[in-house]
Chain A
């Protein structure tokens, strides 16, 4: 297939995944700030949401204060934020349109429909209820797109590149949450034991829609070490780093098999996967959670670049 086609399929999926992730951050942050101040933190939740979305610099340029209105507008609708939800959908649709025939009609419908419907929400001043509905709608678009890809695409390189996009983006998103919030998972903050940390922890779980999963897996109260385990190493948890890499490695192997050639991308993915499989959570914490996550983000970016070099240009 054309490299540009593979590239567009890969990025369509990444943008849709990122839009959903932004909606989850906003949803969880709104919840956290709704708590009475006795349970709340230092009032830095919105700043932290911007950091988790990875766009502190552009935000600082566009707005003064990180408050609810500014951050929601910036992450959802602001046309100057290259990765606002609006722009994610715009870029996804534009990429999709350029490779229209490589998508199934169901996938196109999901994106095109979302783009048309987005105009309805655009940038008007929403109250919280409307905004919550908007965030739900964003998640539903992602589910519809993902579901139509899963249910209708031919299982060939087009599908694999599209799935790669989802998983590379997902791994990056989960890692960012950990990168921004790692300090609340560190043992020394545990002794504070205050309600603040509990709600910070559950917020992290909500951001990756894993709160219920946590209880099913560990059957005990929310503890930082187990959250780290769930988000990093647990392969049953679809947004964990290990699960993402299991998928990435599998899809890359399928591409390699189909093309009769395995290269640097396959090796890089396998290396990260092995590393995740062979490191118990205790070792991660001992080595330093922050360092571990930083290394992971670097490796994940490297994989992204290797995929581009090997297939997409």
Chain B
């Protein structure tokens, strides 16, 4: 299986987008690259951009490795991607409104009803509730992989609380500092307007009862959460308070934050807490991270939660396999972005195929994320494969499987020098009352181990700056 290389095109050539970068890489002495890499690491450590790895007692705060060689996309490539992303996120929002409302897609047989109703992320609380401005998924992170010059697949839709956007921004910041000369020879579309777009999105969805200058805050589970740095980074860039559950209180179905000048009304909450933990009165009663009564205030129409409660039903991997039909049903258009071919293990025939071909396939839990609980057949041990065989036999509906894709590669600076490594891409798509926006590029994640296809930071992946050339 030969992967498509985004610089060479796979046949030892040189694709136009990488011409200038290739020249620069050939001239750059390895010592200089090594020096810049250590400067980048120092920068990240100083600003404290760290993440926590669950189940890793040793180091509660770690850096995600950063690769200094940018990934380059051309304007036409991005234009097509962006069009596809807009279409996909439009469909996701319509799908969510439908499954909590009229249920037309279920009636039309687009998707088996049990995938929705029996989904752990389907929230009965949300049925027949009108969310403010009809938007469910305000912030989406759509994971994209590339397999050849023209084909981008959607690998996953992240419709709950996608993270990583702070890395997109900090990666650009450090590149601008370390390689000003590269920005002189490339016209790179900026990403630093992301917080402005996010703020505009959040303001646009304030409840109708809010003042014309709505109060927005970002709700974090706290400093021990793996993405706490990002939460504090975004709150700072947005100029909004970073609150924990205990900073908020609900009185008469209105949410307030506790300030030094007394309670202050809150209109929009960008919450980075999962549904299960957000309100102990409605969901998990043992949650100490949430705010008792917040769902009551939400349903009274006095506060907007972004993302809405219950969006998880749209990023379930079994639902994912129906996304092409969902896009077509709701937008009336052919999907611009393809899905990775997916075997639904809940279907007897498909599961039989999967069980026969485990060593070739990637198997994922339908509601897993972050690279946890997944099997990469070609890289797995016998024992791991057998463990999954048992899981698939016992509980097939919990899994989907996909062929092991030859993810595209990009030149990456590793111990042995500059070498191709597999990458994916997570663009961030914002949906507000005034439409959809998406900054050019997104977060490129790279599997630093040779041959590895797992790009998740929790599994040893790194990140790269992503350039969309504006010419």
Contacts and interface: CB of A to CB of B under 8 A. Distances in A.
B247 A3 contact: yes
Contact of A3 (B47, B228, B232, B258): B258
A281 B195 CA distance: 59
Contact of B222 (A5, A98, A108, A313): A98
B223 interface: yes
A6 B258 CA distance: 11
Contacts, number: 47
Given A97-B223, A101-B242, A4 B48 contact: no
B232 A157 contact: no
Contact of A259 (B236, B241, B247, B261): B261
Nearest to A98: B223
Interface size class of A (residues with CB under 8 A): 20 to 34
Given A2-B247, A98-B222, A108 B257 contact: no
B375 to A, nearest CB: 36
Nearest to A99: B242
Given A2-B257, A94-B223, A109 B244 contact: no
A100 B48 contact: yes
Given A101-B232, A101-B242, A108-B48, A4 B223 contact: no
Interface in B220-272: 222-223, 228, 232, 235-236, 241-244, 246-247, 257-261
B236 A3 contact: no
Given A3-B258, A4-B247, A101 B236 contact: yes
Interface size class of B (residues with CB under 8 A): 20 to 34
A311 interface: yes
A108 B260 CA distance: 23
Contacts of B258: 2-4, 313
A4 B246 contact: yes
Contacts of A109: 46
A148 interface: no
Nearest to A4: B247
Interface in B27-60: 46-48
A298 to B, nearest CB: 25
B288 to A, nearest CB: 15
B260 A6 contact: yes
A112 interface: yes
A312 interface: yes
Contacts of A255: 260
Nearest to A255: B260
Interface string A1-29: 11111100000000000000000000000
A101 B247 contact: no
Interface in A254-302: 255, 259, 261
Nearest to A261: B261
A297 to B, nearest CB: 26
A171 to B, nearest CB: 21
A157 B260 contact: yes
Contact of A112 (B48, B228, B235, B260): B48
Contacts of B242: 99, 101
A70 to B, nearest CB: 30
A183 B334 CA distance: 89
Contact of B241 (A2, A157, A261): A2
Contacts of A98: 222-223
Contacts of A101: 232, 235-236, 242
A311 B258 CA distance: 9
B70 to A, nearest CB: 26
A4 B247 CA distance: 7
A259 B260 contact: yes
Nearest to B228: A97
Contacts of B236: 101
Interface in B276-300: none
A261 to B, nearest CB: 8
B226 to A, nearest CB: 14
Contacts of A157: 260
Given A2-B243, A101-B242, A112-B48, A311 B232 contact: no
Nearest to B236: A101
Contacts of B247: 2-4
A289 B48 CA distance: 49
A179 B223 CA distance: 38
Nearest to A3: B258
Contacts of B243: 2, 4
B48 A1 contact: no
Nearest to A100: B232
Interface string A135-169: 00000000000000000000001000100000000
B144 to A, nearest CB: 31
Nearest to B229: A100
A100 B257 CA distance: 19
B46 A1 contact: no
B445 to A, nearest CB: 25
Nearest to A94: B223
A98 B235 CA distance: 12
A102 to B, nearest CB: 9
A2 B257 CA distance: 7
Contacts of B228: 97
Nearest to B232: A100
A1 B244 CA distance: 14
A97 B223 CA distance: 7
Interface string A75-116: 000000000000000000010011111000100110010000
Contact of A4 (B232, B235, B244, B261): B244
B224 to A, nearest CB: 10
Contacts of A312: 260
A207 to B, nearest CB: 33
A1 B259 CA distance: 5
Contacts of B259: 1-3
Give the one of A2, A109, A157, A311 with max B CB within 10 A. A2
Give the one of A5, A100, A109, A313 with max B CB within 10 A. A100
A259 to B, nearest CB: 5
Contacts of A112: 48
Interface of A: 1-6, 94, 97-101, 105, 108-109, 112, 157, 161, 255, 259, 261, 311-313
Shortest beta-carbon contacts, A-B, top 8: A101-B236, A3-B258, A311-B260, A100-B232, A98-B223, A6-B260, A97-B223, A259-B261
Given A3-B259, A4-B247, A108-B48, 16 more contacts: A1-B259, A2-B257, A2-B258, A2-B260, A3-B258, A4-B244, A4-B246, A6-B260, A97-B48, A97-B223, A100-B232, A101-B236, A109-B46, A157-B260, A161-B260, A259-B260
8 contacts: A2-B247, A4-B243, A94-B223, A98-B222, A99-B242, A100-B232, A157-B260, A312-B260
